[in-house]
Structure 1
């Protein structure tokens, strides 16, 4: 039985992978991309459709789905995680003695890339300094001030240099607060990425040996073969696991039986922390940065309207 026409909502919400190209490549909700469809932005509709689902949370890794947003917002959130959530890192290295085979410049570079486990929310950014800001601060007071804070490298086994007998390294380091767009050493994530949720649709029943062949075309767990009354049928078990490799298009007897696509507004985020802050804290801080940007933009619009 032939399938009827699909609803416009479903058509516009899928990026379809073809054998030699992509159909419906729009990744934005900008009005006018779909003639005859009312795709103007609506706050009520956005609030009804938007959601965040936590999929996996480990010590340094968080995987979550952000559904119902535009690609520009998803990418802005990723860029903020990479470059605008602050951390602490070594800024200056005063090398008093270094008799190792590692040059001073390389040593300083390595020290700068060691993640420092210090909550950046407890520190302030460097600001412009005037003579009125000069004051004497006893070194010994720092032990009382930060006595309850465990400031140290995230990992104890990061190799900086190998010393031969008689060699030594004597360095004093100053750490400052910064963000990744100033220098990569301040980036709080080892990786922050997203991908669209895969969508796999069987256009007609796939049975027998063809079902087993179909299963082999996808990543493990995507397609399952069930036996009903002695007959084998292929079913889509978990399209989320698919890597969209297009292996299916190499087989003439299968490529017209399956539609490969991705849900255009369903983003699967993966955030891996360097260990400075928990990944859920990083996501929360990134959201605060994004909200601050939005408020600043709205204030600028209000100022323009008043002029």
Structure 2
């Protein structure tokens, strides 16, 4: 049985929607929060579309989907997050913005509530220090796409209590995910490798070595990856990749983590990936991956 808490997801983009799917599917009541009510509505619509595909594929029944979606609500009023026993933040990679969000959440959530950040590059300790409850704060980095990938990197901050980390770990498992423990280090495990790797793929395009689709074919065919780097970048969002580069390069000074000029030009041209239907590849819809 799942611990009977309500899980809040702060941020209704690709990552937040995927996390909400995972948590709702795991049996938890869910509140999706975003300052933009239209984005909240779009996120809930994407969840419904994803679960409708699950019914078509025979993975869930219509009755199960109705039960799952009956546990999902959304809000643009941060005060509505008060009932949450765990809030997972999934907004863009800027330390001060995340810090302000958690400071605001601290004012409305109960003292027993845990806070978690889905950051993939920033310091958990530094975000936690702005939250008002650094002993009840953990890193929970879900892999993209969260609704299809089981792995979650879990990282304690310096002041995270053992009890808080154990509770968050248990909830993660109850959601049906597979947590791995990492230390609070730049990029943790996955993005320590992935951000430079994806940048290398961008530089191959930049230098005219190969077209994006050909790079993906080579990586998937020879290395056995389920998704090529260009597909993954488009799913992450090219604007998000810029922020990841800036965060990782800012603390490691690793040359391969530096943002490729082509990436910045594509963001300036609003070719952001799946969410704008055009990035390194083109897409018919901006629907959530897997829907």
TM band (smaller chain): under 0.3
Specify which structure has the higher proportion of strand: 1
Specify which structure has the higher proportion of helix: 2
Larger Rg: 1
Q: TM-score, structure 1 length as denominator?
A: 0.21
Q: TM-score, structure 2 length as denominator?
A: 0.21
